[in-house]
Structure 1
Amino acid sequence: MEKKSERRPITLAASLAGLRLIGAGAVLGLALTVPAAPAQADPPRPPATTQDTVEES
């Protein structure tokens, strides 16, 4: 006796929806990782001067 593996047919709409979900996850992952690298590489900025708030007489 041979057992046949039950294979359910997958519709084209379901497979495309899965691919879209995988693609969205990949884009989200890249969007979260790419901006983090340059932000850490920036040197610390000196505090802003307060020349604009000094009143001139």
Structure 2
Amino acid sequence: MEKPERRPVPLAASLAGLRLIGAGAVLGLALAVPASPAQADPPRPPAATQDSSADDAPES
């Protein structure tokens, strides 16, 4: 079997390929790492407290 001829690859094409591989690696890592849980809203007072304060306000 003969060895295939090696063709030179232009530097620009080589760098573009490396950037593409790097972007794929970053995306793969971002998708592999579990997302941090979203922060919950601070606890709110019960709805009964809000309704009673609205009833106490004088109507104008």
TM-score under structure 2 normalisation? 0.53
Percent sequence identity over matched residues? 63
Give 1 or 2 for the bigger CA radius of gyration: 2
- For residues 8 and 52 of structure 1, what CA distance do their matches in structure 2 show? 78
- For residues 34 and 51 of structure 1, what CA distance do their matches in structure 2 show? 42
1:34 aligns with 2:33: yes
Shift of 1:7: 1.1
Shift of 1:20: 0.2
Gaps of 5+ in 2: 38-43
- For residues 49 and 14 of structure 2, what CA distance do their matches in structure 1 show? 60
Q: Deviations over 1:24-56 (max 9, x none)?
A: 0000011111134x44xxxxxxxx764576354
Q: Secondary structure at the match of 1:8?
A: coil
Gaps of 5+ in 1: 40-47
Aligned length: 51
TM-score under structure 1 normalisation? 0.55
